[in-house]
């Protein structure tokens, strides 16, 4: 038991992390700030509440960029986030996607104490990100229940049993490179599909830039379709310009 209590105590000492003894304070904060955490306007149409509902579990399939994009707006608005058991996800990538890294805690390798660490963070952090590689379904359901009870948002990079919402991303080609291969990668459009349970049961799809030109998720503007004018009208316009 000592091996579990000590890391939880260390986590409780981090700024923005509370333990079960401060759950009442955490719930009051949730009541005051609302039950939905904001997301980028480019992603709001995918979510039934136009944001991340507190207490929900969201599974993001095969897209770290989409997952970071979901964190950006909430952390910028003052919410705390933690990433547990995802060593491939770092501070630099989070910052490039618009995440306020001063409000981001990383626990890359929690080891055998993984369930206890995630549970402790769900007690006091607004958003907890994890990657369930070999998590037993019953443990996953208990963590979802804890998120629901504590009013946190549990974000999974990959499948999660009985997730409230699942997001699948189909990326397109990068833009920014010239035909010769010179230039810089600027943005990448992606089709994002959402489907879940309850109010999220109706499938939704949108196309966003992940990342956009500024690094954040952005709405993809529809391509302008040229209008072909009759030859006579073109001649008239040329005469007007010449005159």
Answer whether 189's CB lies under 8 Å from 172's CB. yes
Following DSSP, what letter does each residue of 6-33 receive, concatenated? HHHHHHHTSTT---GGGHHHHHHHHHHH
Is residue 130 in some structural domain? Answer: yes
| Averaged pLDDT in 10-residue chunks for the chain of 243 residues | 49 51 46 76 90 96 92 95 92 92 93 93 95 89 95 96 92 67 70 87 87 78 47 54 53
Is residue 234 in some structural domain? Answer: no
Pairwise CA distance, residues 95 & 209, whole Å: 17
Closest CA relative to residue 19, chosen from 111, 125, 126, 101: 125
The pLDDT of residue 21 is 46
| CA distances (Å), origin 126, targets 16, 84, 194 | 9, 14, 22
Is residue 182 in some structural domain? Answer: no
The pLDDT of residue 48 is 86
The pLDDT of residue 3 is 45
And the tokens for 148?
A: 């629901």
The pLDDT of residue 18 is 46
Q: Domain residues for 62?
A: 2-174+188-219
Number of domains composing the chain: 1
Mention every residue, 6+ apart, whose C-beta is less than 8 A from residue 188.
65, 171, 172, 173, 174, 175, 209, 210, 211
Is residue 65 in some structural domain? Answer: yes
Judged by DSSP in three states, 239 sits in: helix
The pLDDT of residue 127 is 97
The pLDDT of residue 38 is 95
Is residue 240 in some structural domain? Answer: no
The pLDDT of residue 76 is 94
**Which segments of 77-219 does DSSP mark as H helices, in order?**
91-96, 114-124, 137-150
Mention every residue, 6+ apart, whose C-beta is less than 8 A from residue 198.
48, 164
Is residue 179 in some structural domain? Answer: no
What CATH number has the domain bearing residue 54? 3.40.50.300
Q: How many helices (H) and strands (E) does the chain have?
A: 8, 13
Is residue 213 in some structural domain? Answer: yes
Pairwise CA distance, residues 236 & 26, whole Å: 70
């Amino acid at each position: 038991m000592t091996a579990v209590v000590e890391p939880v105590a260390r986590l409780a000492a981090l700024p923005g992390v509370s333990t079960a003894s401060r759950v009442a304070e955490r719930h009051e904060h949730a009541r005051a700030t609302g039950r939905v955490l904001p997301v980028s306007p480019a992603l709001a149409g995918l979510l039934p509440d136009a944001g991340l509902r507190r207490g929900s579990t969201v599974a993001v399939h095969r897209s770290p960029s989409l997952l970071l994009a979901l964190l950006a707006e909430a952390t910028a608005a003052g919410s705390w986030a933690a990433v547990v058991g995802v060593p491939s996800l770092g501070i630099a990538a989070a910052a490039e996607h618009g995440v306020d890294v001063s409000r981001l805690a990383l626990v890359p390798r929690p080891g055998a104490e993984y369930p206890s660490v995630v549970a402790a963070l769900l007690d006091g952090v607004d958003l907890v990100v994890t990657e369930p590689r070999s998590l037993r379904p019953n443990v996953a359901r208990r963590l979802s229940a804890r998120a629901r009870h504590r009013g946190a948002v549990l974000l999974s990079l990959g499948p999660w049993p009985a997730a409230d919402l699942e997001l699948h991303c189909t990326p397109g080609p990068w833009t920014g490179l010239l035909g010769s291969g010179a230039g810089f990668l600027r943005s990448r459009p992606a089709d994002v599909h959402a489907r879940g349970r309850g109010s999220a049961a109706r499938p939704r799809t949108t196309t966003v830039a992940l990342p956009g030109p500024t690094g954040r998720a952005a709405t993809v503007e529809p391509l302008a379709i040229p209008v072909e004018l009759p030859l006579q009208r073109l001649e008239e316009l040329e005469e007007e310009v010449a005159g």
